[in-house]
């Protein structure tokens, strides 16, 4: 009995010591958290969650000011999570239960109304983007044009088109979207015609296929066919549980071959790929220096994490510190401004991007 009592006392004491040590370690981590050192244009912000709950744009400006964010590229969410009656609690995220999501056209209406409710001064800090449509629907371009006509002078481009998105792909109604389809070709004809930026989420591979980039060919079919389309690859192809070999070499090759191809280093790409080791960090720094006008740093947060935006973006400090001042300025601000500032009102003005005719190109070719 005495032996058992002694064992219990020792166990409790050890557990208390461990809890105190763990608590002190967590406090030490907090001491190391710093503010975002460099001003940025954060161009990947979901103003709602998967239930479309939000605090609205007027309340977000205070988070911008406290987080060193000059401007925000904003969009809602193309899909909504279903709350079915067998679930006692309302799901906040698409992974909270096994029930599906569905496309809903109200998302762009909410963005437009919120944006138009702001003062002219505050509007200048936001770049609203259009995001609702089913990318498998050949009618998607007609839906997009209708939205531009219903809310003229609001939208700057198209964002974030969900293609291969691991669990979310399987949990969204209708056929799994992929890039090499007739619907996507019509979409890319439209964005090329009006020189609109388009951001896509298309995973590099499947969660359990890590020896080669399984979905690369789907995307490359499209960007090879539409080389003038200004495409931004969200999260630089990364997602949860994904691994692919020769990552930076693959991105470098795409940058070299496709001059209108951009990536953002948001969400899990930084924590799970870039910052896993000093070697990988240096590889990405080298890539960023070489292609400094094609890479951007963004957060990709939902509305319920806006109070954490300064912590989320402060992760990038260690990466940004390694860049030259010129490259850092491009990655943080200039690239996003360049992409979005020239795209507004192109559809409303029917301002079609004009390309030289083949005969004109031939006449300009000098024969030695």
Q: What residue ranges do the domains of the chain occupy? A: 39-364
> Phi and psi of 114, rounded to 5°?
-65, -45
Mean pLDDT of 299-308: 73
Q: What is the dihedral sign for C-alpha 261, 265, 266, 268? A: positive
Among 41-55, 151-165, 332-346, the minimum mean pLDDT is found in: 41-55
Among 121-130, 141-150, 208-217, 284-293, the minimum mean pLDDT is found in: 208-217
Mean pLDDT of 1-30: 57
> Phi and psi of 200, rounded to 5°?
-125, 150
Question: Is the distance from CB of 216 to CB of 204 less than 8 angstroms?
Answer: yes
Question: Is the distance from CB of 270 to CB of 237 less than 8 angstroms?
Answer: no
Buried b (16+ CB within 10 A) or exposed e, 13-23: eeeeeeeeeee
pLDDT band per the 50, 70, 90 thresholds, residue 227:
very high
Task: Report the 10 Å Cβ neighbour count for 118.
Answer: 16
Highest mean pLDDT range out of 50-54, 165-169, 184-188?
184-188
Which of 219, 337, 239 is closest to 329 using CA atoms?
337
What CATH superfamily classification does 39-364 receive?
Metal-dependent hydrolases (3.20.20.140)
Alpha-carbon distances, residue 173 vs 18, 33, 104, 151 (angstroms): 47, 41, 11, 27
Question: Is the distance from CB of 292 to CB of 327 less than 8 angstroms?
Answer: yes
pLDDT, position 368 = 37
Give 160's contacts (C-beta < 8 A, 6+ positions apart): 44, 75, 78, 131, 199, 200, 201, 234
pLDDT, position 363 = 61
Question: Is the distance from CB of 103 to CB of 173 less than 8 angstroms?
Answer: yes
Joined together, the tokens standing for residue 40 give: 């940025």
Distance from C-alpha of 58 to C-alpha of 27, rounded to nearest angstrom: 33
Identify the H or E element spanning 279: helix 278-290
Task: Report the 10 Å Cβ neighbour count for 109.
Answer: 15
pLDDT band per the 50, 70, 90 thresholds, residue 265:
very high
Judged against a pLDDT cut of 50, whether residue 366 lies above it is answered with: no
Residue 108 DSSP SS3: helix
pTM of the predicted protein model: 0.82
Give 30's contacts (C-beta < 8 A, 6+ positions apart): none
Distance from C-alpha of 111 to C-alpha of 46, rounded to nearest angstrom: 10
Judged against a pLDDT cut of 60, whether residue 255 lies above it is answered with: yes
Q: Give the β-pairing of 79-81 and 101-103.
A: antiparallel
pLDDT, position 1 = 46
- Averaged confidence pLDDT in the chain: 84
């Amino acid at each position: 009995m005495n032996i058992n009592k002694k064992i219990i006392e020792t166990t409790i004491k050890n557990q208390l010591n461990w809890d105190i040590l763990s608590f002190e370690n967590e406090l030490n981590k907090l001491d190391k958290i710093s503010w975002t050192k460099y001003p940025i244009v954060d161009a990947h912000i979901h103003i709602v969650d998967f239930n479309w709950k939000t605090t609205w744009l007027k309340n977000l400006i205070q988070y911008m000011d406290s987080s060193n964010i000059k401007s925000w590229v904003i969009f809602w969410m193309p899909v909504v999570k279903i709350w079915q009656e067998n679930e006692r609690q309302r799901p906040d995220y698409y992974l909270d239960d096994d029930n599906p999501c569905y496309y809903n056209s109200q998302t762009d209406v909410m963005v437009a109304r919120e944006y138009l409710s702001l003062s002219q001064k505050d509007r200048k800090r936001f770049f609203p983007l259009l995001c609702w449509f089913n990318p498998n629907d050949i009618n998607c371009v007609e839906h997009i044009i209708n939205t531009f006509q219903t809310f003229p002078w609001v939208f700057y481009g198209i964002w974030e088109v969900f293609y291969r998105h691991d669990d979310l792909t399987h949990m969204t109604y209708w056929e799994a979207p992929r890039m090499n389809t007739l619907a996507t070709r019509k979409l890319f004809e439209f964005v090329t015609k009006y020189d609109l930026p388009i951001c896509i989420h298309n995973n590099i591979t499947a969660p359990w296929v890590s020896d080669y980039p399984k979905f690369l060919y789907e995307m490359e079919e499209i960007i090879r066919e539409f080389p003038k389309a200004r495409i931004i690859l969200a999260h630089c192809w990364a997602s949860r549980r994904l691994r692919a070999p020769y990552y930076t070499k693959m991105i470098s090759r795409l940058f070299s071959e496709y001059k209108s191809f951009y990536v953002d280093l948001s969400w899990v790409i930084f924590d799970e790929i870039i910052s896993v080791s000093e070697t990988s960090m240096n590889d990405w720094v080298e890539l960023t220096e070489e292609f400094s006008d094609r890479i951007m740093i963004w957060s990709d947060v939902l509305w319920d994490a806006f109070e954490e935006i300064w912590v989320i973006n402060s992760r990038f400090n260690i990466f940004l510190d390694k860049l030259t001042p010129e490259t850092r300025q491009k990655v943080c601000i200039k690239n996003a401004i360049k992409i979005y500032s020239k795209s507004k009102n192109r559809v409303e003005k029917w301002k079609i991007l004009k390309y030289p005719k083949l005969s004109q190109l031939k006449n300009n070719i000098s024969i030695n």
